[in-house]
Each structure stands twice: as structure tokens, then as C-alpha cells.
Chains A and B, each alone.
Chain A
Amino acid sequence: MAVPLTAYLIVGALLFGIGVYAVIAQRSAVMILMGIEVLLNAIGLNLIAFWRFVNPEDYSAQIFTILIVTIGAVEMGIGLGIMMLLYRNRGTVQVDQYDSLKG
């Protein structure tokens, strides 16, 4: 393995940072959801990189990654369902339109 572990982890950290940016900077719920998917991606990359370099004989980390991918997919599904409902009721999925509950 010519490319060291740290290189992969840095890619993961960059993805994490970008995901953070998307989650807090975006106002559309769908875009926020996409940001969260980027976060999940960073997790997957971290896990697989650690797996390859730290404990490649044990495939548990790959299972964990599969679970993360599954969670991402399910989140997308249920999130889009929720947003569909919100859109039907309120005509928008901009999160700053949803601020009646506060205080």
C-alpha cells in the first residue's frame, strides 16, 4: 500500500468538513439531507481505511460500513417522505420557514 492511512483519513476529514458546511449553510431540507449523506460518506471512508490498515483480517468494519450505507439509504427514503408531506402541507421545504415552535 503506497498510499498511507493518513491520506485516506484526510480525505475523510475534508468530506466531514464539507458535510458540516452543507448541513449548517443550506436552507433547503433536501440539501441538508445531502450534507448528512456526505457526513455518512466520510464515516464509511474512515472505517474502510482503518479496516484496511489496522485490522484487515476482520471484516466487521465492512459490515459496519454496510450498515452505514443502509442507514443513509433509509434516511434518504424516510426523509424524502417527510419532506413530501411538509411540502404538501406548507408548500416549502425551506427550514427557516419552519420556526413557529420556539422559546
Chain B
Amino acid sequence: MTALLLTALLAPFTASIALVVWGRVRPGTSPAAAGWVSTGAAAVFLAAVIGLAGSDAATHLTWLETGSFPLTIGVTVTGLTWFAALLVAGVSLLVAVYSVGYMAESEGHLRFFAELSFFTGSMLTLVLADSLLLLFAAWEAVGVASFLLIGFHFEQSDARRGAYKAFVMTRLGDLGFLLAWLLLLQETGSVRISEVLGAVEGGALSDPRLTLIALLLFAAAVGKSAQLPLTAWLPAAMAGPTPVSALIHSATMVAAGVFLVLRLFPLFERAPVALDVLLWTGLVTAFLAALVATIQVDFKRVLAWSTVSQLGEMVLALGLGAPLAAAYHLAAHATFKATLFLTAGAVDHGAGTRDLRRLGGLARHMPLTASFMIVAALALAGIPPFAGFWSEELILSAAVQNRPWVAVALLGLIFLAGFYIGRAVTAILEPWPGAPRPRAEEPKATMLTSTAVLAAGAAVSGGVLALWGARLLPFEEHAPGPVAWRVGAVLLGALGLLLGRTLVRRYGPIAPLRLVALPLENFVELLFVGAGRLVLLVAFAVGFIERLLDGGARALARGARKTAWLTSRAEDGFDRLALGGAAGAMAGAGLAELLEREAFGAGGDQAATSLFQAGGGLRLGQTGRLYLYTLGLFVWVGAAGLLSLLWWR
């Protein structure tokens, strides 16, 4: 069993090295061959992981002993790790297969597949690790692989920027991880996760320390899972190739944060404050991201924000104390989001764009892709019997039992998810007024096959998990919540889907945004910019008031006309509802995006800028003038003299 475990771990790394060497020896290798090597490795380790089912293989080795602390590295198969490994293996294999087709015409395919294999190997190590040290190492390796893969098209500046941003922002969270495991090492004297958890359960840690550690660990999860305030890197990471987005930025790497919390959940359970932090972070992230997703026009960006939102839901579930639900949602989300990404790649390949405003009516040209997309969208919207339904239902029941108001918020989330995915999918697949109707064709067989498998997963994985999952995972099940809530959730999801669809069919993917969201955005901006600009406004008072009055009158007129227009269509009640809902959603979305951009994005940028400015300021100290340098020495002498007076007694 141990041999199998090591095979599983080493296969992707071997493939990666082999590809690098191969590339050096024979630079002209065909992309397919390279892809199949990578695929083969993925298949080998999928097989190995499946072979490991039910075993409890583990291997450990002492890296070194520093002082009194033994630092070990090791891997182990437990229910949770096997479950996560299976997920990683499955999605990786399918994405690898898909990539064989997708990357056929790209340059640098060898590099791509080598990096892809490296990534899968690292991710697998991450999930199987039984040592915080190894987990941390794999965590960093995953970051490096992500950096390389996002920057794959390095000739594009946004890819470069995205790669840089992703690496550095996630690393910000890693700092928390590093400190957390060092603290754990100090407290428990071990880095073996099993021992650490045992010690934690034995009550080895007192509370403030425990909460601190939990929060530090959560900081790492925030970075990797793109929770607020470290969200901005994930949409930027969409500059990478689509298979990369599918694999890394939806299914595996971003789930690592959630996985980390799951893995160390016993620790979190003992830190209620940390759980609250999780809850709130998850909730706010999920909401804001869902709102932002509703106004995106790039399909991949819709999916990216949707990913953030769904990850927020998982974190929220964790915060509710429902790890099982989070784990289910992790798996379900991996399948349907990967499917969505793969279809996005197919659309991109086929139609040459991912811009919703340039698409439309693709269902006729690519029926298979369209059906996969629809399945995944239904799963995302929580329509039974697809995957999302099962997990969201679990989260909902946990929420209803613990904190009913969270359940209300969850309903809103489900509605929003339905809305944005309905909007996006409709805009792609169905004809809408003024749609350009590009021509497109179905992708290659390899790409279709893997998408199909994933779509099937998205269709059934939820049910399968709901039946057998609990036996696998070390978390207790919640009692199912009241039926009314569950029905309500499904209905709201469906309503969202329909609303989104209607909206697009009426106005296309952009119209309501112009009508409602922009003025709102301006208003919010006014608020943000605040008093300083108000002074300016007063200064230009007369002219401005005039214009304001003028604008007010015009808005009044427009409103009147709109009302008239709306009443003329009063017979279509549903339509009115749709518009109203859409308007509300859009308004929220505009606000949320603004918040995201101005507060968190800008906040991050501000932080970086101020760091840079600090560097620049300090740099001025290095004047190049020798006499100032020596002056510094003597100033220190004076300071030392003053300092020494502290000891005067």
C-alpha cells in the first residue's frame, strides 16, 4: 500500500521532470505526445488513489531534529485525504485529457504539460500530507505552479500581472500558515497532523493561543481560497489558459484553503471566535462576489467571481460548523465549475471570444457543449438532482438549525447564483435581441469527452456523495432541515435562473446595467470620494445646480417614459418581475463591484503602493554622499549615549 501511495505521489513529478528533459533533448515534440505523458501520469495516480481506497497507508520520515523538536514529513491516507485526492486525481486527469486537444496549436506545450504535472503532483502531496511541514511545502509549490501556469502566455501583460499578483497575494496568506505551524510545533512538539490534532483534542492548547493559531491558519485559507480581502488575484488569474483555470482556479488549488480548514477542523471547533470569523468572512465574500458576478461580461470572469462566491459558501458552511456540507460542496463545486470552465474553453476555441456581448445562439452550433453547460449551470443553481442541490441543501439545513438569519442570506445567495449563471448561459447559448450570433463548432473529441465525464460528475456526484459520503468523511451528519426551506431554496434557484434568462432574452446581457447600475455607481462614487469633492461642488455651485436641475428634470422625464413603457407591457407580469429583480440585483452588483474595486482592490493596491513609496522614501536616505554616511555613524554614537542614560540610577 505504501508503495502504491508513493507511486501516486511520484508519478506526476516524474512526468514533469521527464517532460523537461525531453524538451531539452528533442525540442520538436508534438503537443499530443507530451499531453499524453502528462495524462498517463494523471491516470497512474488516479488508479493508485482508487487502489488505495479504504486503506490507511501512511509513511513517515524524520526530516531532522532541531533542538527538541522533531520535524517529520509524511503522507497518509485517511477518509478525508483519500476523498480529496480522488477529487484532485479525477479532475486532473480529465483536464489533462482536455488539454491535449486545447493546447494542440499552442506554443510551448511541453512547458505547459510539465508545469501541469508538477502542479498535480504538488496538489496531491498537499492533500495527502500528514505533516504540516510537508503540507506547507506543497502549499508553496502549488503557488509556484500556479504562478508559472497563469503566466503561461507571458507575452500578454495581463497574464504577467495576473501571475505576479496571484503569487504574491496568496503568499501573504501563507505567512499565516508558516507562523501557525511554527506555533503549533512549539505548543505540541510535533508537526504530524494526526499528533497535532490529537494534542489539540487532548486540550494541549489554551484558548487565546488556539484562536490565534486558528486565525493564522484561516489567513492562509483566505489567501488560497480568495476570500476577502485577498480576493483580487483570482479574477486576475483568469489570464491563464482555460484548462488551468478549470483545474487550478476552480477545482483544486483554490479549494486548498477550504481543505486546510477541513483537515484541521478539530482545531477550529475549539475556537468559536475563529468560527465566527469564518462565518462572516464567508458570508460577505459570497455575497459580494455573487453580486459582482451578475454584471461581468467576460464569461470566465463570471465563473471566477462565481468561484469566489461558492468558496465563500464553503467557508460559511465551515463557520456554521458543518464541515460535511463544506466537503460535499467542495466536491460538487469542483465538478460543475470545472465543467463550466471547460465549456468556456470550448466556446472560446469555437467562437473566438468569451465576451458575453459578442456571443449568442451558440446552442445550435455546439449542442453537446451547450447541454454540458446547462447541466453544470443547473447544478450551480441548486436544481435537483444535480450536484449543487445536495450540498447546498446540507449547508442550508445547518444554517436553519444554527442561525436562521444565515439561512435567509443563503437563500439570497442561491437566488443570485441562479441569476448570474442563468444570465451568462443564456447570453451564450440563446439568441437575444441584437446578438451577433457568431459561428462556432464543437471542439475536438478529447475535449468533448472529458467535458462529458465531468458533466456527468456534476449531474450525479451530489447524489452519490449524499448516499455514501458520510461513511467516508470523519464528520458527523446534520439532521436534514425543514422541507419548506429546501423547497424554497430550489424555487429561488429556479427563479434566479429564469430571471436571468428573461432579462437576457429581453435586453441582452448589458442593457439593464446601463439603465440602473451606472447612476447608482456614480452615486456611490460620490459618497466615496466624499467631502473633498463636495467642496469643489460648492465652488462650482451655480452651474452645477443648474445642471443638476436639468439632469433631475431629464431623469424625471425618463422615469415617466419608462413607467409608461412598463405599463404598456403590464400584461407580461413575469417580465415586470424580472426587470424589477434584475434592477435590484444589478444595483447591488454595481455597489458590490465598486466596493470590491475601490475598497479591497484599491486597498491592496494602496498597500502595495505605500510599500513601494516607503521603499522609495528610504531609498532617498542612500544619498551616495560619504559624509552623510559617516555622519550617520556619529549620530548613532550620540543616540547610544542618550540610550545609555536609561541605565542611570
Contacts and interface: CB of A to CB of B under 8 A. Distances in A.
Q: Do A and B share a direct contact in the complex (Cβ within 8 angstroms)? A: yes
B627 A100 contact: no
A73 B622 CA distance: 31
Interface of B: 619-620, 622-627, 630-631, 634, 637
A95 B626 contact: yes
Contacts of A27: 627
A102 B627 contact: no
Contacts, number: 33
B378 to A, nearest CB: 59
B622 A103 contact: yes
Interface string A7-29: 00000000000001001110100
A99 B634 contact: no
A101 B622 CA distance: 9
A100 B625 CA distance: 9
A99 B622 CA distance: 10
Contact of A23 (B620, B622, B624, B630): B630
B264 to A, nearest CB: 45
A98 B623 contact: no
A101 B625 CA distance: 9
A70 to B, nearest CB: 23
B624 A103 contact: yes
A24 B637 CA distance: 13
Most buried by B among A24, A25, A100: A24
A20 B637 CA distance: 10
Nearest to A27: B627
B630 A99 contact: no
A58 interface: no
Most buried by B among A23, A27, A32, A101: A23
A23 B637 CA distance: 14
A96 interface: yes
Contacts of B634: 20, 23-24
A95 B631 CA distance: 13
Contacts of B625: 95-96, 99, 102
A28 to B, nearest CB: 11
* 5 closest residue pairs by CB, A with B: A102-B624, A99-B624, A95-B626, A24-B631, A99-B625
B630 A24 contact: yes
Contacts of A20: 634, 637
B631 A101 contact: no
B618 to A, nearest CB: 10
Contacts of A24: 627, 630-631, 634
B624 A95 contact: no
Contacts of B623: 99, 102
B626 A98 contact: yes
Nearest to A16: B637
A98 B630 CA distance: 14
A12 B624 CA distance: 31
A23 B627 CA distance: 8
Contact of B622 (A96, A98, A102): A102
Contacts of B631: 24
A103 B619 contact: yes
Interface string A41-81: 00000000000000000000000000000000000000000
A96 B627 CA distance: 8
Contact of A100 (B620, B624, B630, B637): B624
A103 B637 CA distance: 24
